[in-house]
Amino acid sequence: MSRRDDFLERPLATWRELQLSLAAVLGTQVEPIKFELPASSLLPQIVNFLTPAAGELVVFFGSLFFFLLSRNSQRSHIVLMFRTQDARLRALRILNAIEESLTHYVLIVTLVNIVVGLVAAAIAYAFGLPSPALWGVVAFLLNYIPYVGPGIVALILLVLGLISLPTLPAALIPPALFVAFTTVEGHFITPSLVGRQLTMSPLALFLSLAFWTWLWGPLGTFLATPILIAAVVVQEHTMPSDEVSLPE
């Protein structure tokens, strides 16, 4: 038996077992397994799906690179757009505060992603999946893309489970554990940490993710929190709120 046949043997056997179980419940016969790969139509679909996303990433990272390259001159141009000295000082304070807040945000997200990578590697190791360290690194990198990245990692764990584990229920456990952890992390842990550090409401973070994802897709999901951070900083410097003490 070739390595390719051995690679596909366990998933096919699992699928056959599921078919037999459904047939026994429904009282029907099971036809032989037939897998047809429409390569001529599948490849254009994959290309059509990946091309816009790749184009958005190229434009985004290209713009970010050139912006960082000319950051000081851009800062000077923005500040000099204002006429009065007070307005220029305020603009400079806003730009410094945005830069500091975004630095804190990237640091927090990076620390959280390290934990996510360790959890993914631990799950893969505990269930005997191949190359657990590799999938931990993949989970760390992909978790910078909320929702989409963890979904890809869960799909990878599912495929590895179908190949390496003997039964379908056993193969479903690793991705289920990872999805449960990343759900708690994405909806509660990270919003709470980022919100507490940057004085933002977790509800505002969630609504920002929903809005920018709807508007720009995965790239909007990636940029939602930085945009909200910048907006909060601008609001705090342009419309400071008066602190009112409640009566005791």
Residues in the chain, total: 248
**Residue 247: pLDDT above 50?**
no
Question: How far apart are alpha carbons 230 and 102 in whole angstroms?
Answer: 8
Is the per-residue pLDDT at 172 higher than 70? yes
Q: Which residue has the higher pLDDT, 233 or 25?
A: 233
Across residues 211-240, what is the average pLDDT?
80
168 Cβ contact list (under 8 Å, min separation 6)? 14, 17, 18, 162
User: Residue 128: left (phi > 0), alpha (psi -120 to 50), or beta?
Assistant: left
Going by pLDDT thresholds of 50, 70 and 90, the confidence category of residue 199 is: low
- pTM tops 0.85: no
- Domains of the chain, by residue range, sit at 1-18+96-199
Confidence check: pLDDT of 31 > 70: no
- Residue 105, pLDDT > 50, answer yes
pLDDT value, residue 13: 63
